Amino acid sequence: MAATGSTTRNDRALAHPLDPLSAEEIERTVTVLREGRPLGDRARFVEIVLREPAKDELARFESGEAVPREAAVVVLDSAATHEAVVSLDGGTIRSWQEVPGVQAAITLDEYVECEQAVRADQRFREALMRRGIDQPENVMAEAWTLGAHAEPGEEHRRLAWTPCWFRESLADNAYARPVEGLYAIVDLDTMEVLRVEDTSDVPVPAASGAYRADQVGPLRDDLKPLEVMQPEGPSFEVSGNEVRWQKWRFRVGFTPREGLVLHTVAYHDQDRWRPILHRASYAELVIPYGDPSPGRFRTNAYDIGEYGIGPMTNSLELGCDCLGEIRYMDAASHDSKGTPTTIRNAICMHEEDVGLLWKHYDWQAGDSEVRRSRRFVVSSIITAANYEYAFYWYLYQDGTIETEVKLTGIVLTSAVHPGERPAYGRLVSPGLSALNHQHFFCVRLDMAVDGYANDLHEVHTEGVPVGPENPYGNAFRAVATHLRSEREAQQLIDPLAARFWRVSNPLQCNAVGDPVAYKLVPGANVMPFAAPESKDLARAGFVTRHLWATPYAPRERYPAGEYPNQHSGGAGLPEWTRADRSLESADLVLWYTFGSHHIARVEDWPVMPVVRIGFSLMPDGFFDRNPSLDVPPPPAHACHPSQTAEGASQ
């Protein structure tokens, strides 16, 4: 790994309208709000983020007009959630309003304070003593949102519950020793422990679950160095938050809720920049668990909507999974007091070789043409308690866009009686069960295929019945169906029919007369197994379809709604699409949900090897021919043949 640079921005005057807020802008926003509103001492700044300008404002900016720089803020004060917009140019509060009946996302400070309150509670300490644990400071009590499982009369309170694990030292695997059946219910506004549930006599497992390099015994000694070198430097340029590589141009963004965001993705073709995506982000991540036991039935998390993955983003100074010439970007964030923080090297950018791009050997002419594929990688990694999620966006020389998540970290565990086989998990160590669960990611794609007037088609392949049209029984064809409204666009994958979805621009045609288009090609996927009438599925209605489509609306940003924390359900995509709005020649937003299904293996313990999942956006008539024909052949010196087996033995 070669950490060859870090990009940050401190001068607000030079900001592009889509650049994330700088630390100075965050600080200015907080100052304006504290001076303009009577905020209490316990007020928490849940989110301070750029209020992204409208598309027409961006168009005026490209023509030379100034665009106001504004911050959108979510503040938790006096047990109420408030939204504000602050003008950074004028230093004024443009709007302030309370949002009744919602709970804002949990902040990292609340997460820490909740654990401290639980450890200090006498009822909790006594429950630990009954299990032979006299070191409450060594008990990890994680603050999980309560979802829709508040007790009657407590729905209005800001609540968390705390599954627990015991570690003898910080060198232990934090999830190896569950304190089974011991949970606290905490009011996060007051940090009052409302009650302690003690429902199990299962002993704490004995094994430490060690996985660090100095704990696992002799390491392999037969790995030869594998180095990626670019002696002339990388083939991409970074200017502020704008990145250019090969024929691609885009802007990198970052928000406290979504983390890494891509803006204005375009490809240079036919002597102009052709837009493909206006904005792309991971808009929600929900992890439903499948254990109905006391307490455990609550295990369900919205890492994006209930917590926000921005502050969870790793500083890659502490470990990077990339090889080669890397460029980093820092990310400005903040704590719940509104104090700016900086995540150093939050975003990693590099290019990598990915094998064959295209090839043909002409046996009659006796020649071969081959090109190697190179892709540009933009990535960030978050740690959400036990799990790591590494988010990747890939741009290819042939115009393909891919996104992928690499899941790793430590599986969530519960303890079982010695000799017991768990019904809703898998034994990974004696007395230790890894809970059955799923991970559902929803990516929001604000499309702009050669402009903002786009159509959507479902395309599948079907065989033609034997008859006059198909006398030999060999015929099959692709069938495209125009999805004209939001209800028609609610779709599931169908790999047996090779289903994909095409986004086209009816106003722009390619060389063969077809509308230019990109297609969304699904990868691995799954459906939820929660019952349709369950509270968890009511909140996560968006996971019941793999594809949704909506006409662009500025406030429709998150598939489970703005405030999923303790929401009873129905918000977001299910609510918006009841209107069944038209999608014809629309400013189209696609929402694609894909799930990783995890029935644990013993090999997933004590730390889980990476699992990959994602999907592709591929040009489908967007170009007039293969756009990578102009990629040069690889140089002859790029190949270093090894000795033959016979030569190596001599």
Strands 144-145 and 159-161: antiparallel
Q: Which two tokens stand for residue 608?
A: 């889980």
Asked if 387 is an active-site residue, the reply is yes
Vertex 69, ends 65 and 75: CA angle to 5°? 160
Q: What angle do CA 501, 258, 67 make, to 5 degrees?
A: 95
Provide the CB-side half-sphere exposure for 459 (13 A, CA).
Answer: 17
Q: Produce one character per residue of 74-112: b if its CB has 16 or more CB atoms within 10 Å, e if not.
A: bbbbeeebbbbbbbbeeeebeeeeeeeebbbbbbeebbe
Q: Can you tell me the distance from the alpha carbon of 356 to that of 351, in angstroms, rounded to the nearest whole number? A: 15
Give yes or no for a contact between 303 and 108, defined as CB atoms under 8 angstroms apart. no
Q: Which among 111, 282, 302, 387 is annotated as catalytic?
A: 387
Q: Which of 172, 291, 303, 450 is catalytic?
A: 303
CA distances from residue 64 to 16, 18, 29 in whole angstroms, order as listed:
12, 15, 26
User: Which segments within 152-217 are labelled E, that is strand?
Assistant: 159-161, 164-166, 182-187, 192-198
Cα(531)–Cα(537) distance, integer angstroms: 7
Pick from 443, 542, 444, 549: nearest CA to 489? 549
7, 12, 18, 21 alpha-carbon torsion, rounded to 10°: 80
Q: Is 452 a catalytic residue?
A: no
What residues contact 387, with CB distance under 8 A and at least 6 apart? Answer: 287, 407, 408, 409, 410, 412
Q: How many CB atoms lie within 10 A of CB 170?
A: 7
How many angstroms separate the CA atoms of 52 and 19, rounded?
9
Rounded to whole angstroms, how far apart are CA atoms 626 and 398?
A: 7
User: What are the residue numbers of the active site?
Assistant: 303, 387
